[in-house]
Structure 1
Amino acid sequence: MSIFEPGQIRDIDLEQEMRSSYMDYAMSVIISRALPDVRDGLKPVQRRIMYAMLQEGITAAGRTKKSAAIVGEVMKNYHPHGNTAIYDSMVRLAQDWVMRYPLVTSQGNFGSVDGDPPAAERYTEAKMSPIAMTLVEDIDKDTVDMAQTYLADPDILEPTVLPALLPNLLVNGATGIAVGMATNIPPHNLGEVSDGVVRLIDEPETTTEELTKIIKGPDFPTGAIIYARDLPAVYGTGHGRIVMRAQVDFEEASDGKEQIIVRELPYQVNKARLLTNIAELVKDHKLEGIEGLNDESDRNDQTRIVIKLKSSARRTAVLNNLFKHTQLQLTFGAIMLALVDGRPQVLGLKAMLQHFIDFRRLVVTRRTRYLLAKARDRAHILEGLMKCLEHLDEVIAIIRAAQDERTAQRGLEERFQLSERQSKAIVDLRLGRLTRLEASKIREEYEELIKEIAHLEDVLGNPRLVDEIIKEEIAAIRKKYADPRRTQINQGEVELNEEDLIPREQVFVTLTNRGYIKRIPLDQYRAQHRGGKGVVGARRSNDEDYIAHSTTANTHTDMLFFTNRGRVFRLRTHEIPDVKRQAKGIPVINLIDLDQRERVTALIDMEEFSDSQYLVMVTKLGQIKKTPAAAYSSVRRNGLIAINLQGDDELNWVRRSSGGNELLIVTRRGKGSRFTEKEVRPMGRDTMGVGAMRLRAGDEIAGFDIVNPEGHVLVVTQNGFGKLTPMSDYPVKSRNIQGVYTVDQTAIPKIGEIVGMRVVEDLSEELMVISTSGQVIRLPLDQVRVSGRQTRGVIIMRMDDDDRVASIAGVGAAGSLDA
């Protein structure tokens, strides 16, 4: 293909021409438009806006000027692009939800966090912000190179970079898309970055890991929360992901319903778009449990989004689903790309700080040279003036005798060996400066200049003095402009798993005699008075089934299942089905691998497994053993041996202990034994244990618990009788004896054998009593009579003729949901 040019025809290769032209275009975009310079952290248009405002006197100390005038000045002399691009860049520099430390002070509508556009440039005004002045400080002292603008006018120059006392690239961050590359640098806290600069100057061998202890992470202008897990990779390699989450808390509305309050949004989230997205997800039934949505943010961009929940909603589950499906959780893709000597480079944290320090060293050195030259020049002039003052009469005579100014200068130069500049200064000297006072001032100024020259020469000859100046200047900026961190850094994990979507709540877990298990929110049971009939807690699967075991737990704790055969299984509590109160649940064999005729005889919830905590087990025939809880940390669905059993013995009770407690064991026929746990030595899992209590013929263990010396012993019998006995009524004896009486032996035919015992520490707790027919009553313990060991107690649950008490459980303080 041929291209015609005036006067000639030139043959070119089209492919090569396209490659060359595209590369020229790409480099122009990269260098001249899209990427910031590592030294001042500004793109060309931002730098030109700052310089144009400085040249026009639109500084922090002055008044704001029309944005249109500023844009016009930038476009006229410096930036060869449209006014829209310039104005958009200036608006971004003024938005305090975009810039951590805005470089432009705005007047008028400059947009909002909802994505509202700014008013037209003819309506708004702007000027440099106070902190922006630190970017241009000393620009008139030959600190940076000046270059011709696109006008190619030698009288109109622009800086290739600003002197930048402020480490702007890290402090305000940057974002930009070039050709084939992009940058996305998060903003940081000025105080932390300043401390990092000082640390790296003092200790150049400081590692990136050590720097991250000072510069802890991004500090976004909108606050919110970030997770620290990926920060080492981001700061080490210059790229990576940073997970951001909104800052939220919970409030109770006037109607008693709960509300999620969003107070801070992740960086760059459009609030209006977020609200629309949440509303659409609720409408499409992808977000459940939300009743209302309202934006109560104020005009000062103080965020307050109110998400009202339904009465049946579980706030943790709703919140986790909001994090999962909306921009309340967002990933910031960090790419710390900047221009270094005109070439794009991805930089780690240390490299970015080091480039800034190197640049500041160059700026301080150039400024020092400039000041030294000015000082030397002024000293040279003062030396001539002092010679004049020493021979004042002769100088006056030479000047008076001269025909013109130039002749007077030559006469002075020849007589006193002066330079042309010195003689010119003497000739221009006002008569008023020939007084003795003025002569003294000139000498004082000269002496100060000599000291200043010596200091400046020392600075140029000693790099350590240059570093001290940099540290002093960065400390001054820190003192004036640094503010507290806005973004909270969370050291925990952020990935949402299935458990995160399960609400953390107190539940009541029941297991029937025939092996049906379920969990129910604890608040579904209402408190009743002593003697009530209770509410239906579960339907019997047949006439013979009843609730055999029950406990309270948290959905996020582990549940251990101990069986009559001495085995133990482990599940997370939330894995137990959540069903309606009247539902019977599902067979427990669907959750754990039980053998035929093996049944669960004890449930215990575990928040942690440690060597300092023990599990104490008691069997039906009076054997006892204790094992460190850590031994059960690896229990799986197929189970492990918890205790070795002999003959027809069964494992029925398990309690947590500290290793030094006292224990209380009660039999079905009303005998009780209290002894210290130290009489039971720790054993491994696969052991039998030792004797806990000697039983009379036909008797079995009815209950076992940890002793609280200030507490009470609660016993409940088959026929609904119960009582509280002070623990002090039970003497401390030895292990493996028959014990003392617990109930009136003559009353056993009427009240029935003991079916449950537990130690009560606080009489404000509540008691749940479950019958074989599935009736459940919940009553405050302070309604149960306190009486001695050898008494029958009072009726706490009225029984039908064919009904009996099956089991009991405690549910914490009255009116509370805590177990």
Structure 2
Amino acid sequence: MAETIERVEISDVAEERFGDFAKYSIQSRALPDVRDGLKPVQRRSLYAMSESGNVSDKPYRKSARSVGEVIGKYHPHGDSAVYEAMVRMSQPWKVAMPLIDMHGNNGSLDGDSPAAMRYTEARLSKIVTECMTNGLNKKGVVPFADNFDDTEKEPVVFPVQFPNLLVNGATGISVGYKTDIPPHNLGELMDACIHLRENPTATTEEIMRFVPAPDFPTGGIISGASSLVPVYETGKGDIKVRARYRVEEDKKRKYIIFEDIPYELKKSVVVDKLKAIVKEKQVVGVLEARDESDLKEPIRIVVECAKDADLRVILGYLFSKTPLQKDYKMKLLAIKDGKPVEMGIKAVLQAFNDFRTETRRNELVFDKQKSERRLHVVEGFLRLADNLNAVVPVIQEADGKAGAKQAIMERFGFTEMQAEEIVTLRLHRLSKTDKQVYEKEKTILTTALKALHILLTNEEELNKHIIKMYEKVKEAFAIPRRTEVKMDEETWDVVKVDTIKEENVVVSLSQEGYIKRSSMRSYSSTPENGLNSGDSEVFVGQTTTKENILVFTNKGRYLYIPVHEIEEEKWKDVGKNLAGYGTEFAEGETIIRAFPVSTNDKEKYIVMAKSNGLVKQTKVADHEVTRRFFSFYQATKIKEEEIVVDVWLVDTPMWMGCKDEKGRSMYFCTEEIPVTGIKTGGVKGINLEKDGNLAEVLLTVTEEEMPEEYRRRERGKKGFAVR
């Protein structure tokens, strides 16, 4: 056969192949199914363990053996991916209801790696064997598909009896998609599912009466739960969670003891951050931080404080400056009908309810068919018992098993199924006692079939039946809520200046953006500022660690930097560039001014002049921010082609002189500039000609200091021509 080479555009091939990969990654790897809440690798791991008898009431087996089963039969990928999935499903600080019971080192809250799979042992947990895989042996309950080499069958989805997607949550990143679903309380979710079955038109707000917020396995406190309705309505948003604490004290000290930490946070990271705060003396009254966790108390982080310390203020600082308080970013995205879909909590619970109805109906159909077959056989046994003396000779005279079957079918009207069972039956099973057993079994089967018929033909009865099953799941596996819920928002995130130890320091900021904080001792011992060659100072001044630095650029943006946030360095050092703090400058953006300000500067103002002749005056207090200190904020409304010419910090009325490009000038008092918010563009300082620009602007304390070429005029008028 001749080989042909087809010429195609590489862009077309790349697009097609990437599309195939993206579809595979989304549907078959990274995202969970809304019905059973499992990713393929998780489902395959649990199924392989179930099929091999590695279940909750049997002894543990080596994890490596289970991993081998999975990759050999169902998941042709690296063994590390399978083992990592097994480990995560076993970690009680990651999932609300562990699906795998692992014996040995399966990691820790500190982020320690688990032991190698050859050292650990595992088996399925009880909830898996009773509520996830126990319907797989019934044909037709859930669809099965061929494995990767068509030698085995594997379930496409598990017939789960609880909404695992929400119970254990999920995280995953696929091509263009990301999911972050927090764990929830199983008992609350079962109540919500029952309510939704009884009230299909229930709103998200009604559902949240049962499920007010996530229930993280690491505990914590969720605040502002009353504002979570939009989050659960859309399936995405922030959930504020913080560590729970208690206070102890003795004659010399007070102790803040953190009993849990926010979800998916390494304990060691929290402890290291607290120790850094102590080392850098960021907070007055905090003396020591240490980890006293042990087997009895898995989380016990102790912050030792002075006897006279204000713990409320210290806690406010710790919650705003450490991961002890964080925003969990929920994004409820899962595979539904083969596609990734963002859903609210009602849609997820409705999808589970619909799926549970489908699987339970399939189970009942299977049970009905099985009972009908058994009843048919039992009826055959009873007929045989009544005609035993006639049937036995016929069987004895027949040629072999097949002949015996055919003979009794023709002579006595037994069906093939009945005949097959009869010819394999031992005669002692047809005693008088056994006949009574069969008659009793017939009665039981007849009653069961009537009940099954009612459930399969009456939707209301089926619904009640499933609700009873939900109640049994709740009774067997529900646990008390571990995360406390507070409906109102807490205000821990505001940094209190009282927490900062006040020290006199010198701050330097250069044109190239290098900033540093130096002690008075270092400043006094080194006469020269350590700047790079060609760099120059924008600001050098004495201030305190309780004050802040306002930095303005020519693009009308500003930084609000608490002095204590600036790293302390020697005066002879260059300092750290603002980029190292995460500050991002726009193209052509430069620093023009910087001022030390205090949170108590209620009567100070920022005066600004722009190239278009507009001027504005804003309160210093309006520039204050409480977080993202090294990120730019907009100080004025400004067009792309405009720039800020200069900025001043004033506390009394001053005199402003303006000059345009043709040398026309004038001056006026800053009292004529109205005080406005930072989002405004300002008012006319000097009336410029079309496309004209402000060439020069200056500020003087007294009118007498104004240069002679400037003449007094009302703000907003044109300048006087040079005489």
Measured after TM superposition, the shift of residue 404 of structure 1 is: 2.4
Alpha-carbon displacement from aligned partner over 1:85-120 (angstroms, at most 9, x marks no partner): 111111111111111111111111111100111111
Distance in 2, matches of 1:53 and 1:475, equals 27
Which residue matches 2:233?
236
Contact 1:376 1:453 in 2 (8 A): yes
1:8 is aligned with what amino acid?
T
Deviation at 1:182? 0.7
* 3-state SS, counterpart of residue 5 of structure 2: strand
Q: Which amino acid aligns with 1:244?
A: V
Q: Distance in 2 between matches of 1:6 and 1:492?
A: 76
Structure 2: unaligned runs, 5 residues or longer: 500-599, 604-723
Give the equivalent residue in structure 1 for 2:374: 378
CA distance in 2 between counterparts of 1:127 and 1:369 reads 31
Q: Distance in 1 between matches of 2:488 and 2:496?
A: 13
Structure 1 residue 465, shift from structure 2 partner? 2.1
Counterpart for residue 540 of structure 2? none
Deviation by residue 1:704-746 (Cα, 9 ceiling, x = unmatched)? xxxxxxxxxxxxxxxxxxxxxxxxxxxxxxxxxxxxxxxxxxx
1:147 aligns with 2:128: no
Q: Structure 1 residues 451-460 or 73-82, which shifts more?
A: 451-460
Describe the SS at the equivalent of 2:126.
Answer: coil
Q: Is the 8 A contact 1:230 1:240 kept in 2?
A: no
Cα contact 2:242–2:262 (8 A) shared by 1: yes
Q: Say which of 40, 55, 62 aligns to 2:58.
A: 62
Count how many residue pairs are aligned between Structure 1 and Structure 2: 501
Q: How does 1:777-796 map to 2 (within 5 A)?
A: none
Contact 2:186–2:478, Cα closer than 8 Å, also in 1: yes
Deviation of 1:367 after TM superposition, in Å, equals 0.6
Structure 1 residue 282: deviation in Å? 3.2
Deviation at 1:300, TM superposition (A): 5.0
1:343 and 2:344 equivalent? no
Change (3 A) 1:291 1:25: same
Question: In the aligned structure 2, how far is the partner of 1:15 from the partner of 1:590?
Answer: 61
Structure 1 497/89 Cα, relative in aligned 2: closer, same or farther at 3 Å?
A: closer
**Would you say the 8 A contact 2:317–2:492 is kept in 1?**
no
Partner of 2:118: 122
1:259, 1:146 → 2: CA distance? 57
Tell me how far 1:591 sits from its aligned partner. Answer: 8.2
Q: What's the CA shift for 1:473?
A: 1.3
Please report how far the alpha carbon of residue 434 of structure 1 lies from its aligned counterpart in structure 2 after TM superposition: 1.8
Q: CA deviation at 1:590?
A: 9.7
Deviation readout 1:629-671 (Å, 9 max, x if unpaired): xxxxxxxxxxxxxxxxxxxxxxxxxxxxxxxxxxxxxxxxxxx
Contact 1:263 1:305 in 2 (8 A): yes
User: Which letter maps to 1:140?
Assistant: N
Q: CA deviation at 1:122?
A: 0.5
Residue of structure 1 aligned with 2:274, choices 278, 284, 300: 278
- Check conservation: 2:245, 2:258, Cα contact below 8 A: yes
CA distance in 1, matches of 2:302, 2:93: 20
Cα distance in 2 for residues equivalent to 1:590 and 1:336: 45
Q: By how many angstroms is 1:222 displaced?
A: 0.6
1:219 aligns with 2:215: yes
1:432 aligns with 2:432: no
Report the alpha carbon displacement of residue 346 of structure 1 after superposing the two structures with TM.
0.8
The structural deviation recorded for 1:443 is: 1.8
Match of 2:198 among 196, 202, 221: 202
Change (3 A) 1:414 1:333: same
Amino acid at match of 2:479: D
User: Is the 2:142–2:155 contact (alpha carbons within 8 Å) kept by the matching residues of 1?
Assistant: yes
Asked if the contact 1:230–1:241 (Cα under 8 Å) also holds between the matched residues in 2, the reply is: no
**Residues 278 and 288, structure 2, Cα contact 8 Å, conserved in 1:** no
Give the alignment partner of residue 160 of structure 1, picking from 135, 156, 163: 156
Q: Structure 1 498/439 Cα, relative in aligned 2: closer, same or farther at 3 Å?
A: closer
Question: d(CA) in 2 for partners of 1:197 and 1:590?
Answer: 56
Q: Which residue identity lines up with residue 276 of structure 1 in the other structure?
A: D
Measured after TM superposition, the shift of residue 387 of structure 1 is 1.8
**CA–CA distance in 2 between the matches of 1:591 and 1:403?**
112
Is the CA contact (8 Å cut-off) linking 1:230 and 1:242 kept in structure 2? no
CA distance, structure 1, for counterparts of residue 259 and residue 355 of structure 2: 39
Distance 1:66 1:431 in 2: 47
Three-state SS of the structure 1 residue aligned to 2:231 is: helix
Match of 1:252 in 2: 249
Kindly provide the amino acid, as one letter, of the partner of residue 148 in structure 1: D
What is the alpha-carbon distance in structure 1 between the residues aligned to residue 183 and residue 493 of structure 2? 30
Residue 86 of structure 1 aligns with an amino acid whose one-letter code is: V
TM-score calculated relative to the size of structure 1? 0.59
Describe the SS at the equivalent of 2:247.
strand
Tell me how far apart the structure 2 counterparts of residues 207 and 344 of structure 1 sit (CA, whole Å).
23
Aligned partner of 1:811 in structure 2 is none
1:7-406 pair list within 5 angstroms: 7-133=3-129, 134-142=131-139, 143-153=141-151, 156-227=152-223, 228-253=225-250, 255-300=251-296, 302-311=298-307, 313-406=309-402
Structure 1 residues not aligned, in runs of 5+:
504-588, 593-819
Q: Percent identity?
A: 38
* CA deviation map 1:436-470 (0-9, x unaligned): 11112112212221221222122111112221221
- Give the structure-2-normalised TM-score: 0.67
Structure-2 separation of matches of 1:250 and 1:434: 77
Task: Tell me by how many angstroms 1:494 deviates.
Answer: 3.0
3-state secondary structure, aligned to 2:135: coil
Aligned partner of 2:596 in structure 1 is none
- Could you tell me whether the CA contact under 8 Å between 2:239 and 2:330 is conserved in 1? yes
What are the Cα deviations for residues 509-543 of structure 1, in whole angstroms up to 9, with x where unaligned? xxxxxxxxxxxxxxxxxxxxxxxxxxxxxxxxxxx
Q: Aligned partners of 1:282, 1:352: CA distance in 2, in Å? A: 45
Q: Aligned-pair distance for 1:166? A: 2.1
Please provide the CA RMSD for this pair. Answer: 2.0
Residue 230 of structure 2 aligns to which amino acid in structure 1?
Answer: A
Cα distance in structure 2, aligned partners of 1:268 and 1:138: 33
Find the counterpart in structure 2 of residue 479 from structure 1: 475
Q: How far is the alpha carbon of 1:273 from its aligned partner? A: 1.3
Aligned letter for 2:247? Answer: F
C-alpha distance 468-497 of structure 1, shift in aligned 2 (>3 A):
closer
Q: Distance in 1 between matches of 2:602 and 2:354?
A: 65
Asked which structure has the greater CA Rg, the reply is 1
Trace 1:414-453 onto structure 2 (pairs within 5 A): 414-453=410-449
Question: Deviation at 1:310?
Answer: 3.4
Partner-residue secondary structure (3-state), 1:132: helix
Contact 1:113 1:301 (8 Å CA) reproduced: no
Match of 2:452 among 456, 465, 486: 456
Partner AA of 1:234 in structure 2 = V
Is the alpha carbon distance of 1:383 and 1:499 closer, same or farther for their aligned partners in structure 2, counting shifts above 3 Å? Answer: same
- 3-state SS of paired residue (2:241): strand
Instruction: Read off the aligned partner of 2:238 and give its amino acid letter.
Output: R
Match of 1:775 in 2: none
1:768-783 to structure 2, matched below 5 A, reads none
